[in-house]
Chain A
Amino acid sequence: MKLSVLAERRIIYLVLFVAVALPLLFPIGWKTEVSGYTQMVYDLVENTPENEVVIISFDYDPSTMTELQPMGEAMIEHAFKRKQKIIATALWPMGVQMAEQAFDKVLKDYHDKQRGVDYVNLGYKVGGMVTIQAMGRDLKEVFPTDTRNTPYEEIPLLMNVRRLKDIAWVSSLSSGVPGLKEWMMVARDSYNVPVTGGCTAVSAPGFFPYVNEQQQLTGLLGGLKAASEYESLIGRLGSATTKMDAQSIAHLLILIFIALGNIKVFAAKRRKNK
């Protein structure tokens, strides 16, 4: 039975839909191993002393939140566990809302954390690399207030923080430009502040060269799998871990599609040769 191209495409879509939906409805509980890159990120946060101020920059929008939001929640929880103070910033406007949602979710288990004392959301600024460079000189000039319009000097957390060098580490969760690369170029290579972070799986291969002896990046969380690895390291059953079964089945399906496509082409070639 010869199917039209359109019919074939619709069957592929339907099969993929079912293959992804079933493991979500009936979880399998497969385990994943932690990679070295994720371990590096974990070790950076774990080995930073208490009361140090850190930056988590939410440089993404809702289109990539499935991969990056679990990373943000896990890093916030880990930093809270280690009693570090978090400054949330955003180089993408939607990042502000993503940061608020991540804090709302984690704070359900950390009622004692106070805004302004343990964490603060300084909001969004446009300008990418130029803005980060400005933050390197004077954080207050870039962020005169936080998202509640509280002046910089009235926020207890920021009392001893004037520029990037006062920060213990920076984590950028990014899905494009501006994002992790810009933070690395300015915060790490100019101001020597350790930079780590997460990115979508699409951009991960391009970031691996920066994880080197010079430690341009201290580890990297690349994609949903890395997010689930980080969750397992901090002992959290988060949204990334529950989705890994569906991810594995879908990957298997893609390989089957590739095999079927090649079989179809070779069979057609053989028929043609005969």
Chain B
Amino acid sequence: MKRSLPLFFAFIVGFIVLLSEFIPHSPFNQIVSTLEGWFMIISGFAILLGQISLIRMNTHKIAHRLPNWQYHLAGLISFALMLSFGLLWGMRETPGILGDAPGIQAWLGLKPFDYLFDNAYLPLSATLFSLLAFFIASAAYRAFIIRGLESNLLMITAIIVIIGRTSIGTMFTGWLPENLQFWHFPNLADFIMEYPNTAAQRAILISAGLGIVGSSLRIILGIERSYLGGDK
């Protein structure tokens, strides 16, 4: 019951969705439309579940004074602050429980939620990912070594694309006559992206697409059950 009924629901729902594609009339279109609306609401609760897990994990680390617990406390405080600001006064155009906070906006310039977003969240998010630029430079120096035919192909293509997608490529080969424009770096880079790259990516898309169709069918037919979790 605990496993077979959910599998049956997955089958019914998946089957109705598939059927509605071929019979887009009542009642199938209405059932699928209702399912789609419910999907959004249930997804919202799923994200709420993730937040609750995060809070539990952090409070556990703080309560048991595990290593680096002070940083988790800082994380929890920032969570509470942002959540309070958002719920009480809302964000940008959306009013909160206590309205739009015109008084606070008068001296802050923005709502508190937006102020934290612009001056804390945004720089943190952007900077964390900008670290990757340094790592890729380091990797280019240490790991990008010519070894055989395949790595040569990779290297040559990468060099053409790296040069061709900047102003330097335009300058290097901008002097070429009309009949040799194919060898102009930006045109060469575009050729590589439009033909051999597209061919390889298309092969990956087709193969992965076949895999997804297969695994979706396995889920609907109940052959694939890993999403149900352990046997309890």
A binds B: yes
Q: Which residues does A use to contact B, with CB under 8 Å? A: 8-9, 12-13, 16, 20, 30-33, 35-36, 61-66, 94, 96-97, 100, 121, 123, 125-127, 130-131, 133-134, 137-138, 141-142, 146-149, 205-206, 208-209, 223, 225, 244-245, 247-248, 250-255, 257-258, 260-262, 265
With A62-B125, A247-B166, A252-B168 in contact, do A262 and B198 touch (Cβ < 8 Å)? no
Set of chain A residues within 8 Å of B137, measured between Cβ atoms: 12-13, 16, 253-254, 257
Verify A62–B121 contact, CB threshold 8 A.
yes
Verify B37–A134 contact, CB threshold 8 A.
yes
With A138-B33, A147-B92, A248-B167 in contact, do A97 and B162 touch (Cβ < 8 Å)? no
A35-B190, A137-B36 are known; give 15 further A-B pairs, CB within 8 A: A8-B141, A33-B170, A63-B125, A100-B92, A130-B36, A142-B37, A146-B93, A205-B197, A208-B201, A223-B165, A251-B165, A254-B137, A255-B162, A257-B140, A258-B141
Set of chain B residues within 8 Å of A31, measured between Cβ atoms: 167, 170
Set of chain B residues within 8 Å of A94, measured between Cβ atoms: 125
> Which of B141, B143, B146, B202 has the most chain A CB atoms inside 10 A of its CB?
B141
Closest to A16 in B: B137
Verify B193–A248 contact, CB threshold 8 A.
no
Contacting residues of chain B (152-197) with chain A, CB-CB under 8 angstroms: 155, 159, 162-163, 165-168, 170-171, 186, 190, 193-194, 197
Set of chain B residues within 8 Å of A66, measured between Cβ atoms: 126
Question: With A and B bound together, what is the CA distance between A265 and B125 in angstroms?
Answer: 36
- A240: min CB distance to chain B, Å: 13
Task: Identify 20 residue pairs between A and B in the complex whose beta-carbon atoms are under 8 Å apart, listed by A's number.
Answer: A30-B171, A31-B170, A35-B190, A62-B121, A63-B126, A63-B128, A97-B117, A126-B43, A126-B47, A134-B36, A146-B93, A147-B92, A206-B201, A244-B166, A253-B137, A254-B137, A254-B140, A255-B162, A258-B144, A260-B141
Verify B39–A127 contact, CB threshold 8 A.
yes
Asked if B129 CB lies within 8 Å of chain A CBs, one says: yes
Question: With A and B bound together, what is the CA distance between A84 and B184 in angstroms?
Answer: 37
Question: With A and B bound together, what is the CA distance between A64 and B130 in angstroms?
Answer: 9
Verify B134–A262 contact, CB threshold 8 A.
no
Set of chain A residues within 8 Å of B44, measured between Cβ atoms: 126
Closest to A128 in B: B43
Given A123, A125, A146, A258, which contacts B40 in the complex, CB threshold below 8 Å?
A125
Given B37, B94, B163, which contacts A141 in the complex, CB threshold below 8 Å?
B37
Given B92, B145, B171, B193, which contacts A97 in the complex, CB threshold below 8 Å?
B92
Set of chain A residues within 8 Å of B134, measured between Cβ atoms: 12-13, 16
Contacting residues of chain B (104-131) with chain A, CB-CB under 8 angstroms: 114, 117, 121-122, 125-126, 128-129
- B203: min CB distance to chain A, Å: 9
Verify A255–B159 contact, CB threshold 8 A.
yes
Set of chain A residues within 8 Å of B133, measured between Cβ atoms: 16, 20, 250
Set of chain B residues within 8 Å of A148, measured between Cβ atoms: 93-94
Asked if B222 CB lies within 8 Å of chain A CBs, one says: no
Set of chain A residues within 8 Å of B129, measured between Cβ atoms: 63-64
> Which of B33, B162, B165 has the most chain A CB atoms inside 10 A of its CB?
B165
Number of A-B residue pairs at CB separation under 8 A:
149
Verify B142–A261 contact, CB threshold 8 A.
yes
Verify A97–B114 contact, CB threshold 8 A.
yes
- B82: min CB distance to chain A, Å: 12
Closest 7 CB pairs of A and B: A30-B167, A134-B36, A248-B166, A63-B129, A62-B125, A257-B141, A261-B141
Set of chain A residues within 8 Å of B59, measured between Cβ atoms: none
Question: With A and B bound together, what is the CA distance between A81 and B205 in angstroms?
Answer: 37
Contacting residues of chain B (18-70) with chain A, CB-CB under 8 angstroms: 29, 33, 36-37, 39-40, 43-44, 47
With A134-B33, A142-B40, A261-B141 in contact, do A209 and B126 touch (Cβ < 8 Å)? no
Question: With A and B bound together, what is the CA distance between A142 and B36 in angstroms?
Answer: 9
Verify A32–B167 contact, CB threshold 8 A.
yes
